[in-house]
Structure 1
Amino acid sequence: MGFRAAVITFPGSNCDRDMAVALEAVSGTPALRIWHGDADLPEGLDLIALPGGFSYGDYLRSGAMAAQSPIMRAVVAAAARGVPVLGVCNGFQVLTEARLLPGALLRNAAQRFICRTVSLTVETTDSLFTSAYRAGETIRIPVAHHDGNYYADAATLDALEGEGRIAFRYAEEVNGSARGIAGVLSANRRILGMMPHPERAIEPAAHPALGGADGRRLFESVLAALASA
């Protein structure tokens, strides 16, 4: 059986198609598209992806209402069974609101929407999302967010540092995130939330039509990890 990935769509998602296209481009298998109002997920999933956008118009807080959608109960249950989960941008916000990842995403320090390609430092290769990178490597990935300022208390930040759970860090000032954090892993390292959009950087290097190719290795990392499991 081929790679089985599911992309969740919430009202206001606008990167769900981008995520599905990227997953198919890298894996060769179309992603399953799941509506937020569904109560169940298909069996045998290899990856669940929560895409970027403005779920529920960012009403209350970004990701707060989406975290209460019926499908999120199934996502939380799947994550507890060890199914890998990737949350990008709004998906990262949903993961923090659902308490699958620590911390919160606040309004950008400059109080402006940021949309550009930024430099990231790969902080760890010890996860199924980052094994195809080199630790300390600088990569270029687009961002597009208004509420991407990562916040957690000092004890949580120290724990993330000590446990090697910071996946990516901004190599430049972007949004005021605590300690420059751009991506965080769960304790079991099978959930990744990140503000930059790897699905917008998956084109081969010779044809950088979609922001370059540095995001492609994130998806290749997942495929390689699953193939060797």
Structure 2
Amino acid sequence: MHSTSALAPDTTIAIVGAGRLGGVLARALRAAGFVVIGPLRREDRAPDADIALLCVPDSAIPAVAFAVRPHARLVAHVSGATPLADVDFSLHPLQTFTGTETPEVFRGIGVAIDGRTPEALEAAEQLARVLGANPFRVGDAHRAEYHAAASFASNFVLTVLDAAEHLAKDAGVDRAHLAPLVRQTVENWAASGAAPALTGPIVRGDEATVARQRAASADYRDLFDALATATRAIAGRAPHATTADHAATTEEPPA
């Protein structure tokens, strides 16, 4: 095994955990030229490696890290929420995975890293850059906020989209027709933030339309109310609605 901090081309990396991310990381690191062992199951015998990269559930990290520690120079996990108490560094790709992705999935994405020593932090940064990703540091003190942000940006978005899909289905509209709206909304948010990108009846002050929407959302009433309250807070930061915007909610459609 290597003893220098730099990752040599023949660095050996053991991927422990054969789930979605473990398989994708193994393919990507192998394509980058590293010697990759795995992905291994948690119960497999730990091999000797320069780096043991744990792609296991957060609750399993302490035990698996303890098991592989005698066999690896550096031990790392890919959790966004778990501190570094049991490992040397962390590498959390800020992306959602199905397990079928090609190595290109890492190109251009953000990767949260941290390390307990300069050597470990350097290894995390180098791995992220080799994957084509953009590393940024998140320390233990801010992991909860960071991981909550990731859940809002991905998991909870799907919760909202599931409600939208069911309501659209009740109206005879396929979710494919909602997809361009979702994509453009995300593009607008990415370009300028939520307040400038916000459109719709709440930011226009059209409470009559909001009330009709609420009545139509009976199966999602609690979710609608929570989102409407949060959206009103965003609307308070948004530029004032234009006269044309207001007219669009009050004029009769053409015959």
TM-score (norm 1): 0.35
Higher-Rg structure is 2
Which structure shows the higher helix fraction?
2
The one of the two structures with greater contact order (alpha-carbon pairs below 8 A, sep at least 6) is: 1
TM-score (norm 2): 0.32
